[in-house]
Amino acid sequence: MTKALVITSIAAPNPVLRKCAEGAKQHDFRFIVMGDVISPPDFYIDGCDFYQIEEQEKLPFKLAKILPKKHYGRKNLGYLLARNCDLIIETDDDNFPRDEFWAQRERMIEAEVLLNKGWFNVYESFSKERIWPRGFPLENIQEENAEKQKHIKFKRDPNKKTPSLCPIQQGLADENPDVDAVYRMTMKLPIDFDKEDSLALGAGTWCPFNSQNTTWFKEAFPLMYLPSYCSFRMTDIWRSFVAQRIAWTCGWNISFHNSTVWQERNAHNLLKDFADEVPGYLNNSKICKDLEALDLRDGTANLTENLMRCYKMLTANKYIGEAELPLVEAWINDISSS
């Protein structure tokens, strides 16, 4: 199995990037880092394929010519560079990989599959704390709490574990997990998640997943596309909603598993994060309702057609700017080429 690790970063070589390079070398991963406008011009780590912005613009991809600068979406070019691999893992430059991060992944996992649950807070199935993932609708947090009367950790039923096809797998992150600015300004941190069996979310069950510790098998690569004409804090979250909706048409589930990284978070302005997350606070539920209402075609042969249908809806409803559509078209062309 050929494997790649993909990160985007504007940082100088730091302990996380060096740890990733070391692990990638030991475990036979190609390690790709995409820079941006303010990346250090002399960036170098042994075992790391680093691409400055000038090098990215010369890549043989249609997307490379039109992708906006100064955006997390530069990571799309890293995915394209790794498109001929069998598996891509992505993370960020402030997540330290543990030994188990490099363990072999399998598409088929044994897990309890949750179907038609609506919004399901996966973080609470791995923790006794009151915690929710970035992108989880705020209006559903207290509603769920009122229904329970008090917070009770979700209990797995070992008798319900079945083989589940999960070409997209989300790992958690300890210490500074991926939570929103509202959580960071009001709730407990740091937090380490409990060790639990994986869960698989199937059709009719929603939970956002991020780009901080995510495994993609080859058949799901077309769904990796990160939109550029939306908030930085929503790009991977809204991608996850699109990916989940299209996964349902393929009979795929999205798995969530124990933490294999811990985060030493880069400096953030929480009020700026909050402002960047407002489009999500206002629209996450509506976006998923609109995605559910789409008439998508079943089967893996229709992945890219369904992807375009999703983005046409997102732009028509003004969740994302119309300038996104040429980028999606270029992505589809590039990811489909060998």
pLDDT tens-digit map of 302-332: 999 999 999 999 999 999 999 999 999 999 9
Query: Tell me, what's the pLDDT at 28?
Result: 97
User: What is the reported pLDDT for 147?
Assistant: 47
Q: What is the 3-state secondary structure (H, E, C) of 112-131?
A: EEECCCEECCHHHHCCCCCC
Integer Cα distance of 199 and 256 in angstroms: 5
Which domains are present in the chain? 3-335 (3.90.550)
Looking at the chain, the whole-number percentage of residues with pLDDT higher than 70 is 97
Q: Indicate if the pLDDT at residue 149 is higher than 50.
A: no
Range of weakest confidence among 8-22, 31-45, 138-152 = 138-152
pLDDT over threshold 80, residue 142: no
Residue 91 φ then ψ, to 5°: -155, -170
Average pLDDT over residues 65-86: 97
Distances (CA, A) of 284 to 76, 129, 206, 312: 22, 23, 11, 17
Name residue, tokens 């985007």.
8
Q: What is the pLDDT of residues 219-236, one digit of tens each?
A: 999 999 999 999 999 999
Confidence of residue 155 (pLDDT cuts 50, 70, 90): confident
Beta-carbon count within 10 A of 89 CB? 25
pLDDT at 143 over 80: no
C-alpha dihedral, 137 to 138 to 139 to 143, nearest 10°: 100
Burial status of residue 318 (CB atoms within 10 A of its CB: 0-12, 13-18, 19 or more): exposed
